[in-house]
Amino acid sequence: MPGPENEQPRLKREISQLGFGAIALNGTIGAGIFALPAIAVAQAGLFSPWLYVLCGLLIMAIVFAFARVASYFSDTGGPVTYAGRAFGPFAGFQAGWLLTLSRAAAFAANAHLMVTYAGWFWP
């Protein structure tokens, strides 16, 4: 007889408005906020703050697209699941590896920035 003790635990597929805002903000700004303002001002001058707003709007469009796609699937897996279901398992495999590599590259960039800033304190 099925009961609560026989059910498999499942991930909750929900996000709060605060969580959504934090993900969008992190996707837009990330750790680059500490390194890019000087470069942005040098390249774009007084228009540079508006470039951050423009990038934020573009990221929001991507986030809304992911939210829309996520509403079509009941299982977890993110881009791997979406690409795998839409284009086949090889596309899902590629999406998974591209996601892994892009996150590793972002982590490396953040580590490089941290070491650069730590160099001010430990020459």
Share of the chain above pLDDT 70, in %: 93
Which residues, in sequence order, are CB contacts of 48 under 8 Å at separation 6+?
A: 37, 40, 41
Of 62, 65, 85, 90, the residue nearest 75 (C-alpha):
85
Q: What are 25-43's pLDDT values in tens digits?
A: 776 667 777 778 888 899 9
Query: Where do the structural domains in the chain lie, given as residue ranges?
Result: 15-72, 77-123
CA distance 64 to 58: 10
H or E segment and range at residue 81: helix 79-87
What is the pLDDT of the chain when averaged over all its residues?
Answer: 84
CA distance 9 to 101: 29
The pTM of this model reads 0.63
